[in-house]
Homo-oligomer: A and B are copies of this chain.
Amino acid sequence: MTSSLSDQDVSAIGRLPFVIKELPARSSICRERDRPVQSCLIVSGLICRAKVTGEGARQLLSFHIAGDIPDLQSLHLEVMDHDVIALTEAKVAFIAHEDIRRLWREQPDVAAALWRETLIDASVFREWIVNVGRRDAAQRMMHLLFEVGCRMQAMGLGEIGSFHMPITQADLADALGLTSVHVNRVLQDLRREGVLDFKRSLVTMNDVERVAVLSGFDPLYLHHSCSEEAA
C-alpha cells in the first residue's frame, strides 16, 4: 500500500477528522463478521490480517506498516471476512467511512488513488498465494521477508538488507503455512548458509540480490511506480 497516493491526496486524507488510538500488542482492531463504520490508517506498529479455519488453524494474509489502511475494503464490503490484528504495540488513526465517502465523492482523484491501493493489496494477495502454493519453506521465508523489507524501505522505515520486524516465529509460521518448529529449522538453515539472519526481530541480509534470486522475488507485483518506470 504505497506510492500511488499523491501528496495532495495524502494531505486531503490527512484533513479528514480522525481519532488516534494506541493499541497494545496482540490486540485485535476488528474481527471477522464485524461491520465496521470506520477504517484505520496505521501511524506506527506492525499489523496483520488473518483468518482462522474451522479446525482452528490460523493463516496470516498480509502484513501492514505505517501508511497502510489495512481495512479499507470495509468501505464497500459491509461485513469483515477476516481479522485485523496488531502484532506489536501500534498507533492507528480511525477515520469514519462516512467522511472517506464524502471525500471520495468530491475528489475523484482521491477515489481513484484509494481504489488503486486496494488493487495493489489484491496483487500482494496473489503473490502470497504463489508463495504458499508453489514455493518450498526456505523460499517462502526469503520471499516474505524480502517483500516486507521492500515495503519498509519504500516507506523509509529501514533498509531491505537490515530492518526490524518484531514478530514471533509462530506468527511467521502462520504467514507461511508452516509449523513454528519448521520455521525455526528453516531459519537456522538460512543463517548457517549465510543467506539471511533473523535474530531478536532484526532481519539481516548480507547479499540482498542473492536472496531475491533464491526466492524468485520480482518486485513487479508491488506496483511501486519506480519499478513500473523501469519495466
Instruction: Give the interface of A toward B (CB within 8 A).
Output: 32-33, 49, 51, 53-55, 57-59, 61, 73, 76-79, 81-82, 105, 108, 111-112, 115-116, 118-123, 125-130, 132-135, 176-177, 216, 218, 220-221, 223, 228, 231
Q: Which residue of B lies closest to A216 (CB)?
A: B54
Report chain B residues within 8 Å CB of A221. Answer: 81
Which of B58, B129, B218 interacts with A61 by CB under 8 Å?
B129
Distance in Å: Cβ of A114 to nearest Cβ of chain B: 8
Which of B59, B216, B223 interacts with A53 by CB under 8 Å?
B216
Q: In the complex, what distance in Å separates the CA atom of A176 from the CA atom of B223?
A: 26
Q: Which residue of B lies closest to A32 (CB)?
A: B220
Q: In the complex, what distance in Å separates the CA atom of A146 from the CA atom of B128?
A: 22
Which of B105, B115, B125, B134 interacts with A129 by CB under 8 Å?
B125
Distance in Å: Cβ of A228 to nearest Cβ of chain B: 6
Report chain B residues within 8 Å CB of A55. Answer: 216
Are the C-beta atoms of B120 and A119 separated by less than 8 Å?
no
Q: In the complex, what distance in Å separates the CA atom of A120 from the CA atom of B79?
A: 11
Q: In the complex, what distance in Å separates the CA atom of A122 from the CA atom of B61?
A: 11
Distance in Å: Cβ of A10 to nearest Cβ of chain B: 17
Sorted nearest first, the 3 A-B pairs with minimum C-beta distance are A133-B177, A54-B216, A125-B125
Are the C-beta atoms of A119 and B76 separated by less than 8 Å?
yes
Q: Which residue of B lies closest to A82 (CB)?
A: B126
Are the C-beta atoms of B216 and A79 separated by less than 8 Å?
no
